Structure 1
Amino acid sequence: MILELEETFIVGEDTFFDSVAPTSSHGVVFEDDGNTGYFYAIGKLPGQEILDALHIYDVDHVTEKGRQCNINIVWTNDWQFASLLINNYCHAIFDFKNKTGYSRNAFSPGNGKWGNKNDRIKLTDDLLDELLSGK
């Protein structure tokens, strides 16, 4: 596993963090626009098109809003999986090889270029272990 990003932010304040895989054509972005938190899979420049989007939280429903939180974006060694951790808890993961994303709330339906999936699979600890086993 490669820790690509380690920062702090406050839930509900405008936040934008990105991480681009150095050996491939993709990356990820975490954004809090003051109302919601989203994790995006993106294609590299030019254009940085959105491949998929995962809803992480609604600010109004977060008990930690107004407090400083830690955020990490962690990649597998082959740069095919990118995980979003907030306060050391994995909220979402993108699988670039299979062009799909998983989140704890299984929302929203497929978005962006990968948006051909109608049902989102909920990220569980067991699924996380399965996805990352051997990575």
Structure 2
Amino acid sequence: MAQSMIYEEQQIMIGQETVVECRSPKNGFMVVFEDDGKTGYFYGLDMALHGNPILDALHIYDAENVSDAHLPSTVQVVWSGDGLKSLLLINNYPHAVFDFENKRGYCKSNFPPADLRWSKFSHEWSDSALELFD
């Protein structure tokens, strides 16, 4: 089985507009981290869908509440070996996971509510999600 790998890495300043995109190495799934200047979100997309490819969105932070926002941060996007799970790390700390295979997103804030057209699960964080990347 192929190992999980970092496929994208970018240094950002929290609260400054940034977009970090990363396609799955194996299929049409894609994740996007976006800081719009006020909030940080992690989006799961299926690029095979026409119109709106966004499956779900995970809230990562409100910039005004990040204590070290004045320091550069490193955003990393990890994909599992099968290309069906993606992990968002900021400064080596796990913030969110998309499990496209099981139609589930995990984030520390458990916000917003999941899009029920895609997932029947909440966004509640579970450390077990990190086991998807062993």
TM range (shorter): 0.7 to 0.9
Query: What CA distance in whole angstroms lies between the structure 2 residues aligned with 1:56 and 1:3?
Result: 19
Q: Residue 49 of structure 1 aligns with which residue?
A: 53
Cα drift, residue 129 of structure 1: 3.9
Alignment: residue pair count = 130
Which runs of 5 or more structure 2 residues have no equivalent in the other structure? none
- 1:111 maps to 115
- 1:29 equivalent in structure 2: 32
Task: State the alpha-carbon separation in 1 of the partners of residues 65 and 84 from structure 2.
Answer: 31
Q: Is the 8 A contact 1:50 1:112 kept in 2?
A: no
How far apart, in 2, do the equivalents of 1:69 and 1:7 lie? Answer: 8
1:69 has 2:73 as partner: yes
> 2:20 matched to which residue of 1?
17
Comparing 23-32 with 38-47, greater Cα deviation is found at 38-47
**Once the 2 structures are TM-superposed, how far is the Cα of residue 105 of structure 1 from its aligned partner?**
1.4
Q: 1:43 to 1:106 in 2, by over 3 A?
A: same
What residue is the counterpart of 2:90 in the other structure? Answer: 86
1:124 Cα offset (Å) = 3.3
Distance 1:23 1:129 in 2: 20
- CA drift of 1:112 comes to 7.8
Paired AA for residue 40 in structure 1: Y
Distance of 1:113 and 1:22 partners within structure 2: 25
- Tell me if 1:3 matches 2:6: yes
CA contact (8 A) 1:52 1:113 kept: no
Q: Quick one: distance in 1 between partners of 2:36 and 2:85?
A: 24
Alignment partner of 2:64: what SS? helix
Instruction: Classify the secondary structure of the residue corresponding to 1:90.
Output: strand
RMSD over aligned CA atoms reads 1.9
Q: 1:4 to 1:48 in 2, by over 3 A?
A: farther
Deviation of 1:130 after TM superposition, in Å, equals 3.9
Map 1:117-128; keep pairs closer than 5 Å. Answer: 117=120, 120-125=122-127, 127-128=128-129
